[in-house]
């Protein structure tokens, strides 16, 4: 039986990060649909049920697909999006931990984040792009 399964999966993608994410989203939407049905929110349950089916079907279609280059590109796009979101979250956490000692402004010229010390009164803040801000800290 194991040899048949290995032979069947030869050349197929298998479960990558995006497929796992779709699978768990499907299970989460199913759990929410069941909870909504139990809480007498039948309309919301009927709304979530197609998402459950869609996510699970997409997960397994991706896992059993033989078009590996396309699935790898999709997975790469998902991983880069997830890494960018994680990096933004880490930056927000870092700024939040420094909020007592520093004030953060965004440059209107280049959208860069500028950090200045608190309690210095009204100061001139010069960005790398050459834009000057006049702010009170």
Pairing of strands 113-117, 102-106: antiparallel
How do residues 27-52 score in pLDDT, each as one tens digit?
A: 998 888 888 887 777 787 788 888 88
Confirm if 16 and 75 have CB atoms less than 8 A apart: yes
- First-to-final CA distance of the chain: 70
Question: How high is the pLDDT of residue 40?
Answer: 77
User: What is the pLDDT averaged over residues 4-26?
Assistant: 83
pTM of the model: 0.71
Question: How high is the pLDDT of residue 130?
Answer: 87
The answer on pLDDT for 98 being more than 90 is yes
User: What is the pLDDT averaged over residues 79-106?
Assistant: 94
DSSP class of residue 125 equals: E
Q: What share of the chain is helix, strand, coil (3-state, %, to 5)?
A: 60, 15, 25
User: What is the pLDDT averaged over residues 77-96?
Assistant: 95
Q: How crowded is the C-beta side of 34, counted as CA atoms within 13 Å?
A: 6
In DSSP notation, 77-115 reads: HHHHHHHHHHHHHHHHHHHHHTTTTEEEEE-TTT--EEE
């Amino acid at each position: 039986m194991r040899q048949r399964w290995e032979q069947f999966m030869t050349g197929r993608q298998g479960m990558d990060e995006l497929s796992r994410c779709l699978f768990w989203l499907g299970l989460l939407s199913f759990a929410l649909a069941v909870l909504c049905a139990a809480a007498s929110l039948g309309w919301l349950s009927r709304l979530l049920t197609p998402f459950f089916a869609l996510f699970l079907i997409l997960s397994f279609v991706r896992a059993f697909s033989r078009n590996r280059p396309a699935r790898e590109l999709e997975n790469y796009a998902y991983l880069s999006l997830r890494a960018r979101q994680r990096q933004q979250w880490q930056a927000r956490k870092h700024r939040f931990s420094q909020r007592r000692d520093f004030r953060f402004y965004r440059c209107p010229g280049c959208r860069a984040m500028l950090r200045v010390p608190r309690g210095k009164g009204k100061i001139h803040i010069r960005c790398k792009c050459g834009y000057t801000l006049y702010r009170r800290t």
